[in-house]
Chains A and B, each alone.
Chain A
Amino acid sequence: MANVAHRLAGVPNVPSWLGQGDDFQEQINAALNSRAHKERWKYTNPTPVLELLPLPTSVPDLGALPDQVTATNVSAETVNLPMSPTLDTAPEAYAAFCYQHRVDVLTVDGTPTTPLTIEHGARSGPMVLRLLANARLDLREVFTSDSDQQLHNLWVELGPGSQLLHSRNSFSQTTHWQFLHVVLAKDAHYQLHNHSTGARMRRQDIQVVCAAPGARAEITSASRVAEGRHHDQQITLEHTAANTVSQQTVRTIAEDRAKVTFNGRIHIHAQCNGADAQLSNRNLITGKNAKVNTKPELEIYTDDVKCAHGATIGQLDADHLFYFASRGIDEAQARELLGQAFLNSCVAGPLESEARAVLQAADHA
């Protein structure tokens, strides 16, 4: 990792408020060499991701912006951007931001009547999405580019009482790193429907902070990792305020020689009475020599909380297969139907039908 930090020495765009030169270099070095960071990258080699950071990016296709959504871009010099906490939790994401000369900021005020659809190209520059107080948005992100290396970073700030319905379909097959950071203010509601396939390398970092009372985050994720493909999800739920709620339901199918990693961390800080956090991760291995690493983690510093987590890794049930066979359904189709059934509850939201077509098609990617 140290040599990578060295490579970051030329980061051109270090905001002045962070400190200059050696100071920044020391910070990023320390972060990249930290135990927490190495743990996050235990099962996936970070080098391909770090090599993406200095490459040029472009503005994704935002289509016709809905009313009440405004797009601006600012220089990274501008203070009051939500990136700074990321230095410790995801230094590579922070570095990605520092490399780029501009940040696209989308601001939502009110309730647009149409969804905001973002079609990402190969490498989108860092984006910030802000929902002002009581705003509501239906955000749809589609990642289809099959260009070699892809990088997508999104920081989301949800104002008091705002609601974001966020759907993401990530079906590209090359090296793909997605970083998502969401901070919820009082009574904000965040809902993520994540659908993905495996890829040559697919890494999804999702960090959600329930930062004020009444904040609520719900994540469902359905993934199907085909033969020999890679899929690594790191989801962190920070509860930093009392009476916050989070729910994560993550389902993944691993086929022949697939490499699947899931790390789901729930961190309930001190004085967060009434926090309620649930995490369920289930993995179904349908092929031979697949590898699944899953680790649900709880870190709790308040007594009066409700928390549940669980992770399972299983195979198709022979009794189920025989029941299908006894009705004339051959094994291949039975496996297909049982795989669909396994993912079913987590294929949802506005991009559901597109996701179903990819995740549940017999000849899926």
Chain B
Amino acid sequence: MSLLEVRGLHATVDGKEILKGLDLTVRAGEVHAVMGPNGSGKSTLANVLAGRPGYTVTAGEVRLDGHNIVDWEPHVRAHAGMFLAFQYPVEIPGVSNMEFLKASLDAQAFARQAEQPGAAAFIKQARELAASLDLNPEFLKRGVNEGFSGGEKKRNEILQLLLLQPSLAILDETDSGLDIDALQVVAQGVNRFRSAETGVILITHYQRLLEYIVPDVVHVLADGKIVQSGDKNLALTLEEKGYAWLT
């Protein structure tokens, strides 16, 4: 069974149709890159999959582990194993990172009827993950993303990915605004997440990220549909020729 199966997905934002019959299948163990020009619907796809309010599915289905999740609330999708790494992670002063991470873990453990992690083990793991992503562990005590640089926010997203261990990760332009060092750290984190049980959707503008996270499949999204799919070489072709030849 596929991890994620999207069939004939149509979605609107503010009454305007952005996704116009999108199909996408991600199997466990696969990394899919979704590329495409500005305004093609890449971020809309990420937000629709995660269930963001304001994004309305008008037709089609999204199956996660076989369940149609179109009507599921976003937190329930998270419990079912979906994770969105945000293009613009929000700053939430007053809620510490540590508190936020623990609340997320506990909520998911509770939903899965699993045991909630002990406080000591949790703190140790969070600190180790922070260090592995070149984040000062002191950041864990600060407000969620509060005063973080763009790169630190993206690394914090990857920290959450590794801590929460979802089955499907959607990375929405996680590479944007990163310098080459930060890009490598983020890519190492994603590669660490890859396994035979997990799937990844990388939404990106640039081929650069795919040098560090090698995708199994590359898709081109244009005007709300997947117009071309191929292997990693498709990304190189796009880098060379742009998107114009496809549409």
Contact = CB atoms under 8 A, between A and B. Distances in A.
Interface of A: 317-320, 322-331, 333, 337-338, 340-342, 344-345
A328 B104 contact: yes
A73 B111 CA distance: 61
Contact of B99 (A326, A337, A342): A337
A322 B53 contact: yes
7 contacts: A322-B74, A323-B144, A324-B75, A327-B104, A333-B103, A337-B100, A338-B95
Give the contact-size bracket for chain B. 20 to 34
Shortest 5 CB-CB distances between A and B: which pairs? A341-B94, A328-B78, A327-B104, A325-B74, A328-B108
Contacts of B89: 323
A342 B78 contact: no
Q: Which of A327, A329, A340 has the most CB of B within 10 A?
A: A327
Interface of B: 50-53, 73-75, 78-79, 83-84, 86, 89-90, 92-95, 99-100, 103-104, 107-108, 111, 143-144, 160, 164
Contacts of A341: 92-95, 143
B95 A325 contact: no
Given A328-B108, A329-B75, A331-B75, A320 B92 contact: yes
A326 B74 contact: yes
A106 B35 CA distance: 74
Chain A binding surface SS class: helix
A323 B75 contact: no
Contacts of A323: 86, 89-90, 92, 144
A319 B79 CA distance: 19
A325 B92 contact: no
Nearest to A339: B94
A306 B216 CA distance: 62
A337 B74 CA distance: 17
Nearest to B95: A341
Nearest to A337: B95
A306 to B, nearest CB: 25
A137 B167 CA distance: 57
A344 B94 contact: yes
A329 B79 CA distance: 9
Contacts of A326: 50, 74-75, 78, 83-84, 86
A341 B103 CA distance: 14
Nearest to A342: B94
Contacts of A324: 75, 100, 103-104
Given A317-B90, A324-B104, A337-B100, 19 more contacts: A318-B53, A323-B89, A323-B92, A324-B75, A325-B75, A326-B83, A326-B84, A327-B75, A327-B78, A327-B107, A328-B78, A328-B111, A329-B75, A330-B73, A330-B75, A331-B75, A337-B103, A338-B92, A338-B94
Contact of B107 (A317, A320, A329, A338): A329
Given A318-B53, A322-B53, A323-B86, A328 B93 contact: no
Contacts of B78: 325-328
A317 B160 CA distance: 21
A330 B50 contact: no
Contacts of B51: 325
Contacts of A333: 103, 107
Contact of A325 (B73, B94, B100): B73
Contacts of A331: 75
